[in-house]
Structure 1
């Protein structure tokens, strides 16, 4: 979870105060800032048509819309990555149960040498003529292992499978170009690397989903919902394209302005610059930690903003945790990996304090 930018906090406070007097919230507010959010996010991930983007309350909501429209039967399989975040596994487990689809899990290699390279190769090998979808992250949520989505997309196209990406742990800090990767869907929660408030998310949906069924029937995802006077002229048709997947109450007059402020700032900073900075301030630390016996993925196969440090076999994990707490260093333990996440608010000095604490 990212800290709130001061500007995002200011906008949120200002938006809360507006609710004191609902008369200050015009009908246009149900639509205007939502469209600005789409436009800013479209810039961030290089989408030509902002109407390919839906506003959601979470990544799991975005994935539920994918699951609701996936054409699959007992002859198909879905490929996922080992120890993937639950939100990107549970929908496919449900499909497995309901449609007798095979769920193929590509586990991480047991050996650490060339781990990222081998893992990527095994994912490509797992995709076959019966694969209907590959669902995964851009980087692994537990240790930042980076996956070659361009090659995976190429392979899915060869077999006619969908590529569905959970970008929650990368989009905003790691460049993601829809035109280059060409996923069928990209879902993100906004409270992490998009620097937005909790209970906000964004989902890109490609043409496969243009005529699909959303998981909820709300008034605002129906055609002509902009006409308040005509809302009781009930419509059979949904809004076009991805707009049909907008969540109910998507116009949240507190959270949407906050998300908009965060996206505007990210577009000014640019993800490639954030990634470059994070790689720069952690470069020396990675070398020193490797010398101390810690295992860290090769640069080509890990995110610069987030990566895992695996402790030496003889290390006392509890002692390491105590040392980090003593030095007021906040990290995440994910399995056997210490997950390190950095951003523009960190410095090389911050990272070197971590190194000092880990070199027991």
Structure 2
């Protein structure tokens, strides 16, 4: 993995523990973007004539990485845009289960539209809380983040499979922004009906690109209201007028979605298996050592399954101390959020622990 650190020059000067806020832009993506803009600068509309082929490659790359048919992959500028379009296509009489204090882009999109809403609490008994809420409230939809953005609590995918088996009509809509790119994921074999994610965090694809994956049967259950603009040449969207096309009105940006393709190419070069293994090698001792120092909330300490995101107890003074020691992290919730990805090292963890003393 150390060979790939050269993709991120900032790591030569800083200890970067802030992927949960923003992934770094890899050199490979930068090179694509430079070549793209030069080609656009020289070619103008001639360059844009091939945009349809690029978008097909992007959908295929996303589909291959997450095991979803390319024709069921929608490209959107960010998660919030796509999720709002999704919820606009849902009958307002439906009841939606949310996680209390989940990511605002998930909860606001539901709460602001007048759906019947019920909640489950995010704590060490997360899965039990969800099961009890489903049994009690009988929701039609469960919308949630796979990994919580404040403290990194991660929902058990095996639990979701059991939940879907018990309640096959319950639709599961997931935000994977804090998850996608951290480990292998097979969407087709999962319990999820919809998975959306912005790609600027763990996929290191820069801003302005996101994707949504759909199970085939969703086309019969929701009616997205996005107005797809007519493509006069018919080359840009072979799925023009389709379910997926409703999530892609107007022109797609070749720079941003080409960046997503370049970022996925880098992940494929490294190997998602190696990325997953490396993230676990760092997150396990990080949790153990931070817990030993009493810096983690009990809801995190008492769970077996966790992500590589941690919220440590600390105030603005400690945050500034970390920053002065060139450790980049974020103030979130009532503490300081740190996160580890594959380009981090054991030395990064040790530096964090020493600075916290």
TM-score, normalised by the number of residues in structure 1: 0.83
Match of 2:192 in 1: 183
Match of 1:127 in 2: 134
Distance 1:183 1:283 in 2: 26
Assess if the C-alpha contact under 8 Å between 2:152 and 2:306 holds in 1: yes
Distance 2:272 2:336 in 1: 24
Distance 1:201 1:247 in 2: 14
Deviation at 1:88, TM superposition (A): 0.6
Assess if the C-alpha contact under 8 Å between 1:204 and 1:242 holds in 2: no
Assess if the C-alpha contact under 8 Å between 1:133 and 1:163 holds in 2: yes
**Number of aligned positions between the proteins:** 328
Structure 1 residues 323, 186: CA separation in 2 closer, same or farther (over 3 Å shift)? same
Which residues in structure 2 correspond to 1:286-325 (within 5 Å)? 286-295=287-296, 297-298=300-301, 300-303=304-307, 306-311=308-313, 317-325=315-323
Distance 1:278 1:170 in 2: 12
Deviation at 1:225, TM superposition (A): 2.2
Match of 2:113, SS state, is helix
Which residues in structure 2 correspond to 1:192-271 (within 5 Å)? 192-210=201-219, 212-220=223-231, 225-226=234-235, 238-250=240-252, 252-271=253-272
Which of 325, 346, 350 is 1:352 aligned to?
350
Deviation at 1:294, TM superposition (A): 1.7
Distance 1:308 1:39 in 2: 33
Moved more, 289-298 or 259-268: 289-298
Structure 1 residues 153, 239: CA separation in 2 closer, same or farther (over 3 Å shift)? farther
Assess if the C-alpha contact under 8 Å between 2:77 and 2:209 holds in 1: yes
Match of 1:233 in 2: none
Which of 100, 118, 126 is 1:82 aligned to?
100
Match of 1:178, SS state, is coil
* Structure 1 unmatched runs, 5+: 110-114, 229-236
Distance 1:64 1:288 in 2: 40
TM-score, normalised by the number of residues in structure 2: 0.84
Distance 1:218 1:153 in 2: 37
Deviation sequence 1:229-279 (CA, Å, 0-9, x none): xxxxxxxx95334243224211x2322222111011112323332122122
Which of 138, 151, 163 is 1:155 aligned to?
163
Which residues in structure 2 correspond to 1:42-81 (within 5 Å)? 42-47=63-68, 49-73=69-93, 76-81=94-99
Match of 1:9 in 2: 30
Match of 2:119 in 1: 105
Distance 1:217 1:124 in 2: 38
Deviation at 1:8, TM superposition (A): 0.3
Aligned residues: CA RMSD: 2.4
